Structure 1
């Protein structure tokens, strides 16, 4: 039952997939969940690392409810949809960071094989692919691909922050001091 990495992921993190159940199929029993990873083998490590980070962020947090509702490719990058309920601010920020890091890293990893890849386009379809899997895809050239601008409510203030994803260290670097929009 644990032959596929996706099945092992659900088995290893049952708390993240609360709707997890065993279903009988023609090939025998299998685990299923609404959060089933619908991405290529190349993003396996990204998904596994994100799930481990999310599980670590919620470990020991009383009354925390976290559910992965989707793991998919969208517009050529990884998308993780996570529902959180009753998480403290620290755990919630750690879950958000785990999701953001995985999604940012997916711009640099071929979804098919896991080799270094480039965000590319072919006839309006986006994908992150390596040279071996490009098959007519052309790299999207933009120095802003790794830029993220976020708006957060901090207390009673709205704060906007910009950061850039750094591939080598798998982390975000703040680009400027936060902008307090309410001042």
Structure 2
């Protein structure tokens, strides 16, 4: 039986070298830039240690596009922008949790379409490097990776699982 210290169903194995997006560790620099660029779209709770934002650097451009769309819709409807309360990799796709400060049905529908489109696109973009990827199960973890990142992650996961096994 393998040792699963530090391994849990939500976060996956830790990457000792650098925060691995497949382990749901936020890319700190990209996160700070995002919050600085769109401060009104993020709740205060998320600003503490990355809060509920767990995503890979390969999805950074996609997340910026979601924020830009929220800003554009807010200007279009003369309303505050959507508040994003959670960004994370869930089952190999981008999950965005949000609240809208405006009850206009058109605003809500347009924002919902944008979030749904981002979730769909995230299943085709490698969460690690941003290249074309595919959603797949790697040793029981659902991830969206390109072939080379999937192989690298599988090898790290294998090494992690075997690291605590005594012979």
TM-score by length of 2: 0.66
How far, CA to CA, are the matches of 1:125 and 1:63 in structure 2? 39
How far, CA to CA, are the matches of 2:117 and 2:51 in structure 1? 18
Larger RCO, structures 1/2 (Cα 8 Å, 6+ apart): 2
1:128 is aligned to 2:141 = no
1:114 is aligned to 2:121 = no
Q: Where do 5+ consecutive residues of structure 2 fail to align?
A: 1-27, 155-167
- Secondary structure, aligned partner of 1:97: helix
How far, CA to CA, are the matches of 1:37 and 1:97 in structure 2? 21
TM-score by length of 1: 0.61
Q: CA deviation at 1:33?
A: 7.8
Larger-gyration structure (1/2): 1
Q: CA deviation at 1:87?
A: 3.1
- Secondary structure, aligned partner of 2:98: strand
Q: Where do 5+ consecutive residues of structure 1 fail to align?
A: 22-30, 139-183
- Secondary structure, aligned partner of 1:116: coil
Query: In structure 2, what is the equivalent of residue 8 of structure 1?
Result: 33
1:19 is aligned to 2:44 = yes
* Count of residue correspondences: 127
| 1:1-183 alignment runs, 5 A limit | 4-19=29-44, 32=48, 37-59=53-75, 61-62=77-78, 64=80, 66-135=82-151
Q: Deviations over 1:83-129 (max 9, x none)?
A: 11323111111211111111000110000000000111123211001
